[in-house]
């Protein structure tokens, strides 16, 4: 396998970001690419293209509900992480795969599309935006990357069984007219995130082994 795999479980976002930075340095210095899975306690992150206008609640509201708002160096706008959302951070040296960020994003989308197909859901793309959608109306997976010396960080957030109502605290990805959904919301039945992890990991192995 061209990459190692680690599952950090439920981990504070800032702690995970610090660990990502350490991994990036290791990979840049010749270490093996690593795929990280984790979940985060409820947190809002704002990417390089983000705007405070897409935060729909007051600063006091976020503080009262113990929700951090963290500005980070990935691409994209504002998103929400919360428990039972599967976050994948591929710390990949694209020199070992293909030095093309557009190609890499499409591969990540393919991994998610294959994963949700295991549940009978047909994922697709929405022109002009990254991520995976259902019927180009409901976003089930958000994506945002940072790349330094061809080593990627950050990645994707697949809504599995997380609390979708918390996305009302933001305008997800700055897109007002679209909704957010999850595998569990779509199917109306309990979804085991460990099973989803297994499917997504297999898809990564399949897509990034050649």
With vertex at residue 136, the alpha carbon angle to CA 135 and CA 139, rounded to the nearest 5 degrees, is 100
Whether residue 26 lies inside any domain: the answer is yes
Which CATH number does the domain housing residue 58 bear? 3.30.930.10
Write down the catalytic residue from 38, 111, 141, 173: 173
Whether residue 87 lies inside any domain: the answer is yes
Per residue in 80-89, pLDDT (tens digit) is: 999 999 999 9
User: What's the total number of domains in the chain?
Assistant: 1
Whether residue 208 lies inside any domain: the answer is no
**177 pLDDT more than 80:** no
Residue 163 has which token pair? 């609390």
Q: How far is CA 27 from each of CA 18, 96, 149, rounded to the nearest angstrom?
A: 15, 11, 10
Whether residue 210 lies inside any domain: the answer is no
Whether residue 51 lies inside any domain: the answer is yes
Across the range 184-193, mean pLDDT stands at 98
Whether residue 209 lies inside any domain: the answer is no
Whether residue 156 lies inside any domain: the answer is yes
**What pLDDT score was predicted for residue 128?**
81
Q: What is the pTM of this model?
A: 0.96
Whether residue 73 lies inside any domain: the answer is yes
Active-site residue flag, 111: no
**What pLDDT score was predicted for residue 126?**
86
- 53 against 159, higher pLDDT: 159
> Which residue reads 């210095």 in tokens?
29
**26 pLDDT more than 80:** yes
Per residue in 1-14, pLDDT (tens digit) is: 899 999 999 999 99
**164 pLDDT more than 70:** yes
Question: Which residues form the domain of 23?
Answer: 3-203
């Amino acid at each position: 396998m061209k990459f190692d795999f680690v599952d950090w479980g439920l981990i504070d976002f800032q702690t995970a970001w610090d660990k990502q930075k350490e991994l990036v340095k290791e990979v840049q210095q010749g270490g093996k690419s690593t795929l990280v899975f984790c979940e985060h306690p409820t947190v809002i992150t704002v990417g390089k293209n983000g705007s405070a206008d897409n935060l729909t609640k007051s600063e006091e509201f976020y503080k009262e509900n113990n929700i951090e708002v963290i500005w980070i160096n990935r691409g994209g706008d504002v998103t929400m992480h919360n428990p039972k959302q599967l976050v994948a951070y591929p710390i990949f040296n694209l020199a070992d795969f293909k030095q093309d960020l557009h190609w890499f994003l499409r591969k990540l989308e393919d991994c998610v599309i294959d994963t949700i197909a295991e549940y009978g859901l047909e994922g697709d793309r929405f022109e002009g935006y990254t991520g995976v959608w259902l019927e180009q109306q409901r976003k089930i997976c958000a994506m945002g990357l940072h790349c330094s010396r061809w080593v990627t960080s950050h990645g994707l957030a697949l809504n599995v069984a997380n609390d979708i109502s918390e996305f009302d605290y933001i305008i997800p990805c700055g897109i007002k007219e679209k909704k957010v959904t999850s595998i569990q919301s779509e199917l109306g039945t309990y979804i085991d995130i460990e099973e989803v992890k297994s499917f997504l990991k297999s898809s990564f192995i399949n897509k990034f082994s050649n």
